[in-house]
Amino acid sequence: MLDKLPSPIQRQVERGISILKQGGIVAFPTDTVYGLGACANLPSAVERVYQVKERPRNMALPLLLAHTSQISEVAEPVPPVAWLLARSFLPGALTIVLPRSKSVPDTVTAGGTTVAIRIPAHPIPVALVEGLGMPIVGTSANLSGQPSALTADEVYSQFGSEIDLVIDGGRCSGGRESTIVDVTGETPVVLREGAISKAELKQVCEII
């Protein structure tokens, strides 16, 4: 994915990968809003995301993946309806809540039994995940309770020097956060209706 990006963006992404490997925090554009990421397997980095975002410690952080094949690495078991939703809407603005696998650190899940995953339809976060070789936590790049950032300048205005790099990929075209669907019960439940409507989901499966 990296070689498909314009050269100036490639250099920013390569720097971002290096920062993530060292436990830093990077902001980046996605297909919805700007995201704030850290290496999911470095608890100290994930902890920094909670701190700079002023996010309550009991609110789990979602994971961004590069490919659907990574879902089974972070979730177990993966019910058939999850694969159906993934085939229909990922990459895209859908976050799926699944039973976590043992490989996912407690810092990511806030000690809970589930994990939220998404594959963005945007080359920059996908290139970051591919370059890092593992999922990144990918929460919206805004202070808790504040509006989501749609540009790099909006990220800077909320965080300033609190984060290590903001990859400026222009304005996010989506503008709405992802739709969150919990598939851990018998019937999928929409926890947050975002860029993908409930009506669109109902065309694929039974949903609450």
What pLDDT is stored for residue 37 in this prediction?
96
Question: 17 lies in a domain?
Answer: yes
- Range of the structural domain that residue 38 is part of: 2-202
More confident: 48 or 6: 48
Question: 104 lies in a domain?
Answer: yes
Which domain CATH number covers 100? 3.90.870.10
Name the domain count of the chain: 1
| pLDDT tens, position by position, 24-68 | 999 999 999 999 999 999 999 999 999 999 999 999 999 999 999
Question: 207 lies in a domain?
Answer: no
| pLDDT tens, position by position, 57-97 | 999 999 999 999 999 999 999 999 999 999 999 999 999 99
Question: 208 lies in a domain?
Answer: no
- DSSP output for the chain: -GGGS-HHHHHHHHHHHHHHHTT--EEE--SSS-EEEEETT-HHHHHHHHHHHT--TTS---EE-SSGGGHHHHBSS--HHHHHHHHHH-SSSEEEEEEBPTTS-HHHHTT-SEEEEE--SSHHHHHHHHHHTS-EEEEESS-TTSPPP-SHHHHHHHHGGGSSEE------S--SPPEEEE-SSSS-EEEE--SS-HHHHHTTS---
**What is the average per-residue pLDDT within 16-28?**
97
Question: 87 lies in a domain?
Answer: yes
Question: 22 lies in a domain?
Answer: yes
Question: 175 lies in a domain?
Answer: yes
Question: 13 lies in a domain?
Answer: yes
Given a cut of 80, whether residue 175 has pLDDT beyond it is: no
